[in-house]
Structure formats: C-alpha cells, structure tokens
C-alpha cells in the first residue's frame, strides 16, 4: 500500500489564465511584469502565426518584443545560452514562451540563469540554488502534454555528455501561465498522441509516486479522468474543441500534480532514451509506460485499481486485481490505437540500443526518479526493463 505524505508544500504559478482565447490576455499580464519581452518559440509556432500574434498583443499594450526561435529539438544547453545572449543584448526584462514543453523549459532556464548566473547544469540536484528572483516568465503552452507551464522543473540536455538534466527548484515555476486550448487545435495527430500520453503518464506517475499527497492525488485523478476520456477524441478529430479544452485542463492539472509529487520510473528511464536516441519525450514515455506498470503492479494494486475504474465503463470488473489489470490493458490499447510502436519499431538499431543500456540504467538511477516508484528497481532489473521495452508488444 502506498503511503501518502501528510505534510506537504504546494507550488504553483501565482496566476493561471485558462480558457478559449485566453491568449488574447497576454499583453495585459505582460505589461504588469516588464516593458520589453523575449519571446522564446520555434519555427513551427512562428509559421503558424503565433509569434506574430504575440508580438501584436504586446505592442497593443505598449511593450516591445524580440524573439528567439532556435528551439528546434527537445531543449539543450546551447539553446539556453543562445536565448540568454539575445535577452542580455536586447535588454529584455520579461520572457514569454510560446510553444510546447521544449520552448517553455528553455525559457525557464534562461529566466533563472539570467539573474543567478552560471551554467544551467550547475542547478542540477540543488548544487546551485537560484537565490535571486528570475526574469518574469509567462508560459503559453501550445500542446496538451508536458504541463510545463505549471511545474517548477525544467529538463535540459547536456550536449557534452548526452545526459538529460532534470532540474527542479521553485525559481523555475513560471509566475503566470496562460492556457488557451485553441492554440492546440493545430497539433497534428502524432503530436497530439505523444503529448497526450505524456500528460497521462504525468498523472499516473504522480498518483503512484511515493511522494504523493492529498493535494496531488486530487489533481492526478481529475487529470486522468479528463485525459482518458478525451485523448482518442482529439487524436481522431483534432478540431473537437470540447475535447481539446478537456485535454488542456487535464495536462495542466497533471503538471501541477507531478510538480508537487514528482514522477517515477517511466520518466527516469525515458530521459536517457531521449538524450541518446532523440526519441521525443512523450513517445518514449508511451513506449515504457505499460511495461513499467506491469513491473510495478504488485506494489500498487490499490492505486492501479483506482485508475482502472476510469476504464470500467460497464461495471463488469469488481475486484482490485481485475481493475488493476484493466488499467494496464486499457493503457496498452490506447497506445495501440494511437499507433505508438516500441523502440525497435521506432527504428533504433538493436545492437546500439543494447550497448547503451548500461549507461541509460546508470543515468536513470542517478536522476532519482526511479526511487519514487512504488517498486524501486535494482540496477539489473532496470537494465532488463529496457530490454523488455525494446521489443514490447502493445
């Protein structure tokens, strides 16, 4: 049985603006924080017109704006350095991130390093504490997945050693999150699936986490309810606005939940795969999630049964064992319906993957996330799980 914490601290953005057309308010909130903004985004968001829309909304409220559009992959330390250089050269006093988790995480890192100095990796495992207030940051997500707009963590890859650095401190929490579901409508099915499963894994792992507590549990359960009942709808019909709204809300709730209860084994194993083989974070989470839940099941049957209830639409399952099994089987089926393949099907060469397993296992354990899992793996078990995931059949 998982024991939840009875004393806990809650961290969240000071202000969350949520709803259709919430993006229209970005200028109103920005002028309270600064006079010249650095917009951190990517070429796709720029092509969709979101960057120019943001600039227009800022200009209408008397602000200047410049942009950094160099985020073309999952975030790496060089993006942080490039964005920081523009911020300093242009003397910006505000950051607005417009995009998925990569843009938001990059912006978080820029905001903290700008006022506290050093290299972003210095902040890993609290080796360096951000004591100075960061540059104010407004996070505007355009996917329903990472929940990064509502977390005090950033994940940045160290390009020197190919390690995804999970850095978590209160200073990384954006003070303002503007969550507009309309910005997610343009997400294609593959991105919708990857980010949606990422959000679901956040909710599941925070609910199963050894650091879970009553506040995080409520958010995790609500997030799972919203995501489980809407993810296929947005995958199959991207312009289903009601389902997009539900996914954006669920993603944000999942972010708030795991920011306060942490993630566990799935994320611990996923980061090294992304760093070494450049598999998108949400996809690698999806590839690992069923196998990790099967490994973990015996240590968290009650909690998995709670998750199974969301899939028990006809009430045909009644025991905790049945419901726990239903949860895992149903998550596998979700992944299958959204064409989530295994690591082999992704195109990763088997010899290369197996050769990397020892490093991935070391990096995963070093991240600390596996220690939050209801069943904490040994190094050997973790290595075996990587092998299982490589050939996993959904």
- At 136 the three-state DSSP class reads coil
State how far the alpha carbon of 279 is from the alpha carbons of 149, 238, 359, in Å: 22, 23, 16
pTM for this prediction = 0.95
Q: Does the domain at residues 189-391 carry the CATH identifier 1.20.1090.10?
A: yes
CB-neighbour burial class of residue 393 (10 A; exposed 0-12, middle 13-18, buried 19+): exposed
Q: What CA–CA distance (Å, rounded) separates 63 from 317? A: 57
Give me 88's structure tokens: 């300093």
Under CATH, to which class is 15-183 assigned? Answer: alpha beta
Residue-by-residue pLDDT tens, the chain, 394 positions: 555 567 888 999 999 999 999 999 999 999 999 999 999 999 999 999 999 999 999 999 999 999 999 999 999 999 999 999 999 999 999 999 999 999 999 999 999 999 999 999 999 999 999 999 999 999 999 999 999 999 999 999 999 999 999 999 999 999 999 999 999 999 999 999 999 999 999 999 999 999 999 999 999 999 999 999 999 999 999 999 999 999 999 999 999 999 999 999 999 999 999 999 999 999 999 999 999 999 999 999 999 999 999 999 999 999 999 999 999 999 999 999 999 999 999 999 999 999 999 999 999 999 999 999 999 999 999 999 999 999 999 8
Domain regions of the chain by residue span: 15-183, 189-391
Residue-wise burial string across 259-280, b where 16 or more C-beta atoms lie within 10 A, e elsewhere: bbbbbbbbbbbbbbbbbbbebb
pLDDT at site 4: 59
């Amino acid at each position: 049985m998982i024991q939840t914490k009875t004393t806990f601290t809650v961290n969240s953005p000071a202000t969350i603006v949520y709803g259709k057309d919430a993006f229209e308010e970005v200028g109103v909130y920005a002028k309270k924080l600064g006079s010249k903004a650095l917009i951190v985004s990517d070429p796709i968001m720029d092509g969709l017109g979101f960057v120019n829309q943001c600039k227009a909304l800022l200009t209408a409220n008397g602000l200047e704006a410049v942009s950094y559009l160099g985020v073309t992959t999952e975030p790496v330390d060089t993006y942080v350095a490039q964005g920081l250089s523009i911020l300093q050269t242009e003397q910006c006093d505000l950051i607005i991130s417009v995009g998925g988790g990569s843009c938001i995480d990059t912006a978080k890192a820029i905001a903290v390093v700008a006022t506290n100095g050093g290299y972003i990796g210095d902040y890993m495992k609290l080796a360096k504490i951000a004591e100075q207030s960061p540059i104010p940051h407004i996070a505007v997500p355009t996917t329903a997945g990472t929940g990064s707009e509502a977390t005090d963590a950033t994940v940045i890859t160290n390009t020197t050693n190919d390690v995804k650095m999970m850095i978590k401190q209160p200073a990384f929490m954006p003070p303002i999150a503007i969550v507009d579901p309309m910005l997610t409508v343009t997400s294609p099915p593959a991105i919708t699936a990857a980010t949606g499963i990422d959000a679901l894994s956040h909710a599941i792992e925070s609910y199963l986490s050894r650091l879970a507590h009553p506040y995080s549990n409520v958010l995790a359960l609500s997030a799972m309810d919203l995501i489980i009942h809407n993810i296929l709808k947005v995958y199959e019909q991207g312009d289903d606005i009601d389902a997009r709204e539900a996914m954006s809300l669920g993603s944000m709730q999942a972010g708030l939940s795991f920011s306060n209860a942490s993630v566990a084994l799935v994320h611990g194993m996923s980061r090294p795969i992304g760093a070494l083989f450049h598999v998108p974070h949400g996809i690698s989470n999806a590839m690992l999630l069923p196998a990790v839940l099967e490994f973990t099941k015996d240590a968290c049957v009650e909690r998995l049964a709670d998750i199974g209830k969301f899939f028990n639409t006809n009430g045909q399952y009644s025991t905790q064992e049945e419901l726990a099994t239903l949860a895992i089987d149903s998550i596998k089926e979700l992944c299958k319906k959204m064409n989530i393949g295994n690591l082999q099907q992704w195109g990763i060469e088997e010899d290369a993957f197996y050769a990397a397993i020892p490093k991935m296992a070391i990096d995963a354990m070093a991240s600390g996330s596996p220690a939050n899992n209801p069943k904490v793996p040994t190094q050997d078990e973790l290595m075996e799980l990587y092998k299982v995931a490589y050939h996993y059949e959904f």
